[in-house]
């Protein structure tokens, strides 16, 4: 009976798969992205949010996103709070701009709600097609460089300097050594195609630090912590501040392109696109993403998005939403490993951040460096994010530079209405609201 229900709902035979293959694919995907369970609370707790509550919110938001994606959209694509967006939440919005984490959660909720409306009314394709490819590449690379700066800072490899702004830290410090070791090990294992390389690297560095007396073991399992400190704590009124519009836009913009790119890329890898090269049920997949973001904001975590690590499950044979449902179940099981998550030091996750940065910065290779009007905005957007410590400022400067350079170069025809309007809005913000 159960087998028939699973077959009818997920259409396993139609997708040339079976329960065993889907379960293995789900486990594989989970192992490649489980590092977020440790990294997300480590980053968000720096805003003053309760570590245990964020841990629970991370696991539950990921499970909600995976369940919607699996049961409703029927795609083997997993979701969880996104890297880059969690760093922007902490270092850009709260610690950088001075907003409360409650207001930042309100911004996440609004961005998710707008994303939901864009998906319902099918405006998302128009927006995606309106943004030049060069800006998309620059933004993706910029987020990677932003993560790299955070990783180096957290490990003490890069420190503040009054004369030069930043300089090299003390590489003999344990935190720097452990972070570098983790990065080297993760990168090597990824090259060797070791499943779960990032998670293995984090846990390996943590265990080594414990053995050498630089870290304490907080335990393995327990009942899940309370989510009460962050549950329904979002400040919607605080997110209505005019200056927060750019923050909401940044959350929305990054999630929109991250999700659309991941969905199409992963679907292409699994042969899930139709004869026209389009993704069936993309509206449902987008609404799964936006719904999970809103749920995550209510629970107490930054934007939830689709994970490119889902490709690992695809390669293992996952073809239906059953893969995503398995990932959801594993995230819920992870709730009972809070003591282990609390034992992970920041330098253990720094190596993982640095590796993710490498993956994201790779988009620079696809930029058109032979055309200065395309290359310059890419570099501006990419450099502005780590140097201003803000994804929102990087996006804004990218749009402004793209519009200005194209106009001055006599290539105004390369601009579309969306780019012009956004560039003018961002310029107005800097001139009148800064």
* Choice between 14 and 180, residue whose per-residue pLDDT is larger: 180
pLDDT of res. 205: 93
- Total number of domains constituting the chain: 1
The answer to whether residue 124 scores a pLDDT higher than 80 is no
Nearest alpha carbon to residue 155 among 225, 97, 99, 205: 205
The per-residue pLDDT for range 107-118, each reduced to its tens digit, is 999 999 999 998
Nearest alpha carbon to residue 314 among 353, 275, 278, 273: 273
Strand (E) or helix (H) holding 380: helix 372-388
Residue 402 confidence class, pLDDT cut points 50, 70, 90: very high
The answer to whether residue 94 scores a pLDDT higher than 90 is yes
pLDDT of res. 13: 85
Q: What percent of the chain has pLDDT over 90?
A: 45
Residues 33, 80 contacting (CB under 8 angstroms) = yes
The per-residue pLDDT for range 263-286, each reduced to its tens digit, is 766 776 677 777 766 678 878 888
Residues 368, 98 contacting (CB under 8 angstroms) = no
* Choice between 322 and 430, residue whose per-residue pLDDT is larger: 322
The answer to whether residue 129 scores a pLDDT higher than 80 is no
* Choice between 123 and 426, residue whose per-residue pLDDT is larger: 426
The answer to whether residue 332 scores a pLDDT higher than 70 is yes
Its pTM stands at: 0.81
pLDDT of res. 345: 87
Retrieve residue 8's tokens: 């009818």
Range in 218-232, 280-294, 364-378, 394-408 with the lowest mean pLDDT: 280-294
The per-residue pLDDT for range 142-175, each reduced to its tens digit, is 888 988 898 898 889 999 888 888 899 999 999 9
pLDDT of res. 433: 65
Residue 216 confidence class, pLDDT cut points 50, 70, 90: confident
DSSP string, 41-106: HHHHGGGT--HHHHHHHHHHHHHHHHHHIIIII-----EEEPTTHHHIIIIIIITTT---HHHHHH
The per-residue pLDDT for range 307-328, each reduced to its tens digit, is 878 877 887 788 899 999 999 9
pLDDT of res. 276: 67
Print the domain residue range for 238.
2-433
The DSSP secondary-structure symbol of 317 reads T
Q: What percent of the chain has pLDDT over 70?
A: 96
Range in 2-11, 13-22, 163-172 with the lowest mean pLDDT: 2-11
pLDDT of res. 210: 94
pLDDT of res. 336: 94
Distances from the Cα of 150 to the Cα of 43, 330, 387, 402, angstroms: 10, 29, 11, 27
The per-residue pLDDT for range 28-87, each reduced to its tens digit, is 889 888 889 989 999 999 999 999 999 999 999 999 999 999 999 899 999 999 888 898
Q: Could you tell me which residues are beta bridge partners of residue 80?
A: 305
């Amino acid at each position: 009976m159960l087998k028939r229900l699973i077959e009818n709902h997920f259409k396993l035979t139609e997708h040339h798969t079976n329960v065993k293959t889907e379960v293995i694919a789900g486990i594989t995907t989970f192992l490649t992205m489980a590092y977020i369970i440790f990294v997300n609370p480590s980053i968000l707790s720096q805003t003053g949010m309760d570590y245990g509550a964020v841990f629970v919110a991370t696991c539950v938001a990921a499970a909600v996103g995976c369940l919607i994606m699996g049961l409703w959209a029927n795609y083997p694509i997993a979701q969880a709070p996104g890297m880059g967006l969690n760093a922007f939440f902490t270092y850009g919005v709260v610690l950088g701009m001075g907003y409360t984490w409650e207001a930042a959660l309100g911004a996440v909720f609004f961005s998710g709600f707008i994303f939901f409306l864009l998906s319902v009314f099918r405006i998302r394709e128009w927006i995606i097609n309106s943004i030049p490819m060069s800006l998309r590449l620059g933004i993706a690379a910029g987020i990677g460089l932003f993560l790299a700066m955070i990783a180096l800072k957290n490990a003490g490899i890069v420190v503040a300097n009054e004369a030069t702004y930043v300089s090299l830290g003390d590489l003999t410090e344990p935190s720097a050594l452990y972070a570098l070791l983790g990065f080297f090990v993760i990168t090597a294992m990824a090259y060797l195609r070791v499943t779960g390389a990032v998670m293995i690297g984090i846990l390996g560095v943590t265990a080594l630090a414990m053995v050498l007396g630089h870290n304490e073991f907080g335990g393995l399992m327990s009942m899940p912590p309370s989510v009460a400190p962050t549950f329904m704590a979002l400040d919607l009124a605080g997110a209505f501040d005019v200056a927060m519009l750019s923050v909401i836009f940044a959350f929305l913009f990054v999630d929109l392109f991250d999700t659309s790119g991941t969905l199409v890329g992963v679907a292409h890898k699994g042969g899930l696109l139709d004869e026209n090269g389009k993704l069936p049920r993309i509206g449902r997949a987008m609404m799964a993403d936006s719904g999970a973001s809103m749920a995550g904001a209510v629970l107490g975590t930054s934007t939830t998005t689709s994970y490119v690590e889902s490709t690992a499950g695809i390669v293992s044979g996952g073809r239906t939403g059953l893969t995503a449902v398995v990932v959801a179940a594993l995230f819920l099981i992870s709730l009972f490993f809070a003591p282990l998550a609390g034992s992970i030091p920041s330098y253990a996750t720094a190596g993982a951040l640095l590796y993710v940065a490498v993956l994201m910065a790779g988009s620079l290779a696809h930029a058109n460096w032979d055309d200065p009007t395309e290359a310059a905005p890419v570099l501006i957007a990419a450099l502005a994010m780590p140097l201003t410590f803000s994804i929102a400022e990087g996006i804004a400067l990218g749009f402004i530079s793209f519009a200005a350079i194209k106009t001055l170069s006599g290539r105004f025809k390369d601009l579309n209405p969306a780019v012009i309007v956004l560039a003018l809005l961002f310029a107005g913000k800097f001139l009148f609201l800064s």
